[in-house]
């Protein structure tokens, strides 16, 4: 490891301590990776890529020391809840459409069957619309 890398890791660890104790100096004090990067004076992508272990350690410490759920996890949980509701709504709509298909297929079969049976002329019944011309 190079000295710059070690220096970044030291700054990230000190920034973790400041954020978790509520003594943020450079960031807004939120318990997010972005605030951690700002507090440590490290580019956010450097934190995400080179120091992913420290980012994970930070979120674990947020859970254990503050008994809070990290912000990204809260947002993911909200998204999962919203998507589950969307899936349930779509499944209900699919079920309703399948039932409509079944009913329409049965209605078409009954109408086709009734046309083939002798009985009153269809022209005598006023509310029937022919789907195909009578033969």
pLDDT digits (tens, 9 = 90+) for 20-56: 888 888 888 888 889 999 999 999 998 889 999 999 9
Q: Which residue would you say has higher pLDDT here, 63 or 83?
A: 83
Which of 22, 15, 4 lies closest to 55 in space, CA to CA?
A: 15
Domain boundaries, the chain: 3-68, 73-116
Q: Are 72 and 32 in contact, with CB atoms under 8 Å apart? A: yes
Q: Which token pair is 80?
A: 């999962």
Task: Provide the pLDDT for residue 130.
Answer: 66
Distance, in Å, from the CA atom of 18 to the CA atom of 39, rounded to the nearest integer, reads: 8
Residue 16: pLDDT band with limits 50, 70, 90: very high
Residue 77 has pLDDT above 60, yes or no: yes
pLDDT at 45: 92
Instruction: Say which residue, 13 or 2, is predicted with more confidence.
Output: 13
- In percent, how much of the chain has pLDDT > 90? 47
Closest-CA residue to 33 (of 23, 21, 25, 46): 46
Contact between 108 and 114 (Cβ < 8 Å) = no
The DSSP 8-state label assigned to residue 132 in this structure reads S
What is d(CA 62, CA 67) in angstroms, rounded to the nearest whole number? 7
Q: How far is CA 67 from the centre of its chain?
A: 25
């Amino acid at each position: 490891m190079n000295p710059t890398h070690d220096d970044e890791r030291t700054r990230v660890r000190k920034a973790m301590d400041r954020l978790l104790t509520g003594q943020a100096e450079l960031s807004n004090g939120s318990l997010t990776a972005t605030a951690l990067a700002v507090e440590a004076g490290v580019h956010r992508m450097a934190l995400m890529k080179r120091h992913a272990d420290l980012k994970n350690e930070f979120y674990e410490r947020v859970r254990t020391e503050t008994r809070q759920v990290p912000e990204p996890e809260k947002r993911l949980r909200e998204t999962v809840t919203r998507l589950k509701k969307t899936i349930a709504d779509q499944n209900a709509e699919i079920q309703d459409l399948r039932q409509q298909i079944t009913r329409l297929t049965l209605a078409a079969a009954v109408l086709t069957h009734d046309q083939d049976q002798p009985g009153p002329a269809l022209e005598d019944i006023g509310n029937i619309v022919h789907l195909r011309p009578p033969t």
